[in-house]
Structure 1
Amino acid sequence: MDSHQANDQTATPNRSGEPQTLGFLLLDNFTLISLASAIEPLRMANQLAGRELYRWYTLTQDGLPVRASDGLQVTPDASMHSPLSLEWVVVCGGVGPHRSVTREHVRWLQSQSRQLRRLGSVCTGSWALGQAGLLDHYETSIHWECLASMQEAFPNVILNANLFTIDRDRFTSSGGTAPLDMMLNLIGHDHGRELSAGISEMFICERVRNEQDQQRVPLKHVLGTTQPKLLEIVALMESNLEEPIELDELARYVNVSRRQLERLFQRYLLCSPSKYYLKLRLVRARQLLKQTPLSIIEIASVCGFVSTPHFSKCYREYFGVPPRNERLGGFERKSDGSKSPPLIRQWGSESNALEPSSCAQQALANAQGEPTFASVLLVS
């Protein structure tokens, strides 16, 4: 596998001198911070270079406005079916990607793949690429909340917990500010380290993280590296939810006694090891209930419960609702379609050959008075 080839920081400039064109496909409830983290490095690359290296368009399925997860409404540049000459397509996901991805999205992404586009994603956008079968046998990153459900839904996808992954013609990242690091690595590959470092300085980014950096799951965020044995035990638990490991066996794996194991959990996690293990299995079950169409019987099995009644009892005691009610309030919840989106300018109806003006061009024009304009000399 040619994984990580694109992370080579040797500059490979566009010999044609034309800007690379990206289309950002916005799914319903996408996360605005991830979109901004992906686009802002492109804007700054143009500003520091003093010319248009990158051009981008925001797209939706029908060209109508879409709401981000924070409720802000974004008007796209075009519909995904507009005749744009795209080189990269980036899917921007967010809350509930399994509800946001449509058959039309899937067909369009497959058509983009046939046209040899570079395909990427931010936050939970990997779900759309996975549903289209475009991540099979590719190493892939996604926000940690969706790791379990995506592994269940798309077993041929090679998932990891990295901040982002660049594997051949696919680039995928987790959420938040991780797309910033992914884009800085891609820009560094295209135009060299100096430009990537300059962008990092402009955004007060102390360090450009790479593909080896992993997402900090909540437990690691709380404990850091002060309790390596506890982290190792929890990692074993997380890796063995379908067939739970006995506590005595867990203790032997990390070379501690059962009593030491129980003391570690009581001191740092304020519960017994068995209760924490049960919590992990129930949390995963909740993710699968909300994010997949798996039956309750199937979910009980893959989360290590010997019977459905026992699973339902434990679930109700922990979350306060039975699994069936959770399913009705989660996976089957309908989005509010009562409000019609406002009309926006429809371009290209008279001539499909016309393209809308790119946001990049206006941003570059506005940046010409900045002291950093054209401050990085690129080798062309």
Structure 2
Amino acid sequence: MAGRQVYDWLLTGDGGGMTRCSAGTEFMLDGDLPELTRDDTVLVCGGIDVAAGTTKRLMNWLRRAARRGVTMGGLCTAAWTLAEAGLLDGKRATIHWENHDGFGEEFPEVTLTKSVFVVDGNRMSTAGGTSSIDLMLKIIADDHGEELANAVADQLIYSSIRTDQDTQRLSTPTRIGVRHPKLGEVIKRMEANIEEPISPALLAKEVGMSTRQLERLFRRYLNRSPKRYYMELRLQKARNLLMQTDMSVINVALACGFASPSHFSKCYRGHYQTTPYRERGTQGGKSPQPDG
């Protein structure tokens, strides 16, 4: 599109040789982790079980590069790698929405957002998938102008370029297939108050309806009570934390609004047909990966 070469890249990894992505495709690497200069940019690619690929040697290499002022970014789950290396401390960042719960608990010193991508100084992160295209188009626009970035987008048949102001997930009504505005607002409030749940009566009052009206809406659109839906949200977050962090079961319970481990375990077993302790045992500890 530019009529000349404006970028070149190397695909590298710890040890060089071949690497296999989580979908099974193998890639021949251009080599081992190279020495970098200030003008280089490092983009770390992460997928399922990013913790297993985050070696000490890789983190030390990233830290050395950071001390030289190298710009670096994490694509999809690889923001976890940068955070584990301490390279996102005090920075804004994003990660795939399925990893938000675990990342937020693991790295409180990072300001986690729900944007499709984030650029904070010389640190970048994307939520994965097509959001990485959005980041690349921003880089091209910053380096060579919006006209070239738009031409590249047209070449990719990519008709809607997003900015860092766009969020990852569909709106709540679209995501759950419900267009009722008050129901959507209640669900948003539930999602924002997992650690300290709000009673259905207070939620109904906050959106200007009676508790009975709220019950009818949930039954009509979601085929469950507000209390049941709220419980499922809390249990989903609990499962994410069990699978993605090393938090103790009692701390997971508290983070998801359960007053006691026994009550948490009973609710968890009723929903997932296993206990939190068995769930943690099958995952083998911290494993930041999307549930899907």
TM-score range, shorter chain: over 0.9
Per the TM alignment, residue 220 of structure 1 is displaced from its structure 2 partner at its CA by 4.5
Per the TM alignment, residue 331 of structure 1 is displaced from its structure 2 partner at its CA by 3.6
Per the TM alignment, residue 225 of structure 1 is displaced from its structure 2 partner at its CA by 7.8
Cα 1:331–1:288 change in 2 (3 A) is farther
Match among 11, 23, 35 for residue 83 of structure 1: 35
Whether 1:146 and 2:99 are equivalent positions in the alignment is: yes
Whether 1:70 and 2:23 are equivalent positions in the alignment is: yes
Q: Which runs of 5+ in 2 are unaligned?
A: 288-292
State the match for 1:27 in structure 2: none
CA RMSD of aligned residues (A): 1.8
Spell out the pairing of 1:236-251 with structure 2 (5 A cutoff).
Answer: 236-251=189-204
State the match for 1:127 in structure 2: 80
Deviations 1:243-270 (A, max 9, x none): 1111111112222221222222222222
Say whether the 8 Å CA contact 1:144–1:217 is kept in structure 2: no
Give me the whole-angstrom Cα distance separating, in 2, the residues matched to 1:98 and 1:291: 10
Per the TM alignment, residue 87 of structure 1 is displaced from its structure 2 partner at its CA by 1.2
The total of aligned residue pairs comes to 286
Per the TM alignment, residue 219 of structure 1 is displaced from its structure 2 partner at its CA by 4.4
Match among 268, 272, 277 for residue 319 of structure 1: 272
Per the TM alignment, residue 104 of structure 1 is displaced from its structure 2 partner at its CA by 2.1
Whether 1:307 and 2:260 are equivalent positions in the alignment is: yes
Deviations 1:31-71 (A, max 9, x none): xxxxxxxxxxxxxxxxx112221111111111132221111
Say whether the 8 Å CA contact 2:92–2:110 is kept in structure 1: yes
Question: Counterpart amino acid of 2:169?
Answer: R
State the match for 2:136 in structure 1: 183
Say whether the 8 Å CA contact 2:77–2:99 is kept in structure 1: yes
Match among 150, 156, 159 for residue 203 of structure 1: 156
Say whether the 8 Å CA contact 1:96–1:291 is kept in structure 2: no
Match among 227, 237, 243 for residue 290 of structure 1: 243
Per the TM alignment, residue 121 of structure 1 is displaced from its structure 2 partner at its CA by 1.3
Give me the whole-angstrom Cα distance separating, in 1, the residues matched to 2:10 and 2:234: 41
Give me the whole-angstrom Cα distance separating, in 2, the residues matched to 1:333 and 1:114: 28
Per the TM alignment, residue 318 of structure 1 is displaced from its structure 2 partner at its CA by 0.5
Cα 1:309–1:186 change in 2 (3 A) is same
Cα 1:234–1:99 change in 2 (3 A) is farther
Question: Counterpart amino acid of 1:83?
Answer: E
State the match for 2:217 in structure 1: 264
Deviations 1:298-352 (A, max 9, x none): 1111111111111111111111111111112114499xxxxxxxxxxxxxxxxxx
Per the TM alignment, residue 84 of structure 1 is displaced from its structure 2 partner at its CA by 4.7
Identity %: 41
Give me the whole-angstrom Cα distance separating, in 1, the residues matched to 2:195 and 2:213: 25
Per the TM alignment, residue 93 of structure 1 is displaced from its structure 2 partner at its CA by 0.7
Bigger relative contact order (CA 8 A; separation at least 6): 1
Deviations 1:211-263 (A, max 9, x none): 11111158454346823322222221122111111111111222222122222
SS in 1 for 2:10: strand
State the match for 1:341 in structure 2: none
SS in 2 for 1:119: strand
Larger Rg: 1
Cα 1:278–1:225 change in 2 (3 A) is closer
State the match for 2:290 in structure 1: none
State the match for 1:58 in structure 2: 11
SS in 2 for 1:78: coil
Give me the whole-angstrom Cα distance separating, in 2, the residues matched to 1:295 and 1:228: 37
SS in 2 for 1:122: strand
Give me the whole-angstrom Cα distance separating, in 2, the residues matched to 1:117 and 1:69: 27
Q: Which runs of 5+ in 1 are unaligned?
A: 1-47, 335-380
Give me the whole-angstrom Cα distance separating, in 1, the residues matched to 2:168 and 2:153: 20
Give me the whole-angstrom Cα distance separating, in 2, the residues matched to 1:324 and 1:288: 12
